[in-house]
Amino acid sequence: MNGFLPISKQDMTERGWYYCDFLIVTGDAYVDHPSFGTAIISRVLEDAGYKVAILSQPDFRDEHDFLAMGRPRYAVLINGGNIDSMVAHYTSAKKRRSDDAYTPGGKGGKRPDRAVTVYSMLARRAFPDTPVYLGGIEASLRRFAHYDYWADRVMPSILESTGADGVMYGMSEHSVVELANNLQHGRKGADACVGVRGTAYMAHDAEGLAWDAVECPSYEDVCASKPDYARSVKLQYDEQDAVRGRALLQRHGRRVLIQNPPAKPLTTEEMDHVYALPYMRTYHPSYEALGGVPAIQEVQFSIIHNRGCFGACNFCALAFHQGRYIQVRSHESVIEEAKKITQMPGFKGYIHDVGGPTANFRFPACKKQDTHGCCKDKRCLFPSACSNIEADHTDYLNLLRELRRIEGIKKVFVRSGLRYDYMMADRNDAFFKELVEHHISGQLKVAPEHMSDNALYYMGKPSFNVYEQFRERYARINQKLGRKQYLVPYLMSSHPGATLDDAIMLAQYLNRIGYMPEQVQDFYPTPGTLSTAMYYTGIDPRTMKPVYVAKTPEEKAMQRALLQWRRPDKRPIILAALKKAGREDLIGYGKECLIRPNRSGEQNVAPRSSKPAHRHGVSAARPENPRRSGKPAAKPASRAPQPKKGWAKPKKKK
């Protein structure tokens, strides 16, 4: 018997089990690593004394696989996997992906579209009298009525569409144990969620709630009125705080969705305990013959040291899922995990990442958040760093130094997201210098997303001037250290508010600095974000004012192509975009021009960049695969697949 939790009846028999208390159904392969939600929740329940079995990627044509291990004693717990099943299956252009990094061998098609919904229906068919509860990112972001990009319409709460008994939203260690204890003591169905923070459920009325509550516009109202939809989303964001957040209500016909306030953040001691549970830190051995699970490669030798992000970009679901409050592990806990990694097969001395949603956050933005929560109508870093923010990298820097001293570790990298605006708010250069000297390998990746302040406003990102200052500071430190390392910016096209003129401005900037990105993310309207609300309604929920949205495939393709203006295959659409915007002045032979005019018999090529890349601290070379700590980056929800190589060299003018 191996150390993994049971995945079959035989595994249960070998443990002497006649039943399991909880059956966890997941759209991912079973990977027992703390970067995977299924692994954490299953180990937390096991630690609480419950028998847990794992049903990974069951056949979704019928309920046969659900019946294989027998009826669970208390409940079926369902998640779609580490990323939304629709994002796993489709690009932002709604084209079907052919692979899936969370499946054995990287094979696509092993989970259904809308996996949580399909699995819920199969669970009901297999066990009609057993409670079903949902969790994970897919269910969490669909707990209210939401706009569905793939169906292009507003859908009801996932509780309404699946008939499940409840949703555990956000990070659910507290919620799942409290829910399990309620079930053990005889409470059933939605009643087991009553009074449990971090859960939502449907009821006939909202009487007797333990908390103050506020009501969102109903499902029927948000379907009929886009302003009501925008107001509903803003209200949901306002109450997403464990300190000051109220319960939220949303009527669906004759029933009402009740969301209890968010779960309390884990303390450092609780975080340490969760990450010290007996994870096997790899995929189940039954997948070896199938080629393993590709997603493990990005996280197997990485460490998560924090949770939450007070950056709260409008297009990111983190604020609505994990929240803005920062939770961290102790140095001792992180070091202990690093020592375990050094003993793992295949470890070659390199810790691939010490990060999280945002790597360089080690404590809440300000002390006020501990007692008053995060500000409702203010952002910590937008439009600029708040005067109350405590920008200090000392603790994170000391942690990295301690990790570097561990025997067997040659290098410790930081590869997950770094908030460069937070770094610029720290007047002490010590962290910046040691990051450049010790913790990157040739290039540093950050996410300015755009250079137009108009576009950045709607993204909830700081002014582009902050990035420019960061870039210059990075170049100076590299020069002082005698290093030739590059800055790789992530960029996004077609975000709500971003116009064709904004895309042209960005293309001109990239041309001036001599950088042509190979990775460009077209905005992806996923459930549960402010940006998606803007995309659907054409209204900014923050101000209720109209916002421009590029929705047609033609304009979206134009904005994206402009960021890769040197690609010969993009020439026709770039030419059309420049003419549409009245910018024929950028078609010519000058150094500021993006493309050359058509000439009889001449190959369609772009002009040379006006300045060499190395003079600007950026590289035109193909960057490494992006990654986010805690979520393997082979299929990230927030980044598009890399385009193929094939840049044509400009021909000399005859």
Q: Looking at this protein, which amino acid is placed at residue 392?
A: D
CB of 530 within 8 A of CB of 541? Answer: yes
Q: DSSP class of residue 248?
A: E
Distance CA 295, CA 57 (A): 15
Helix (H, G, I), strand (E, B) or coil at 464: helix
Distance CA 567, CA 549 (A): 25
Pairing of strands 247-252, 213-215: parallel
Burial tier of 342 (Cβ tally within 10 Å: 0-12, 13-18, 19+):
middle
- Residue in the structure block whose two tokens are 């005889």: 186
- Residue 316 is labelled as binding a ligand: yes
Burial tier of 30 (Cβ tally within 10 Å: 0-12, 13-18, 19+):
buried
One DSSP character per residue, 196-235 reads -TTEEEEES--TT-SS-EEEPPPHHHHHH-HHHHHHHHHH
Distance CA 467, CA 489 (A): 10
Distance CA 538, CA 555 (A): 16
Q: Looking at this protein, which amino acid is placed at residue 289?
A: A
Cβ atoms within 10 Å of 298's Cβ, excluding its own:
23
CB of 113 within 8 A of CB of 86? Answer: yes
CB of 126 within 8 A of CB of 93? Answer: no
Q: Which tokens is 217 given?
A: 């516009």
Half-sphere exposure of 110 (CA within 13 A, CB side): 21
Distance CA 326, CA 88 (A): 27
Pairing of strands 443-449, 521-522: unpaired
One DSSP character per residue, 7-42 reads -SHHHHHHTT-S--SEEEEESS--B-STTSHHHHHH
The dihedral built from the CA positions of residue 136, 142, 147 and 148, taken in this order, carries a sign that is: positive
| Omega cis (within 30) before 383 | yes
Of residues 462, 469, 467, 466, the one with CA closest to residue 384: 462
The dihedral built from the CA positions of residue 175, 178, 180 and 183, taken in this order, carries a sign that is: negative
Helix ranges (DSSP H) in 258-317: 268-275
CB of 506 within 8 A of CB of 577? Answer: no
- Residue 386 is labelled as binding a ligand: no
- Residue in the structure block whose two tokens are 């002045």: 585
Distance CA 7, CA 53 (A): 6
Strand partners, 355: 304
Instruction: Tell me the binding residues for [4Fe-4S] cluster.
Output: 309, 313, 316
Residues making up the annotated binding site are 309, 313, 316
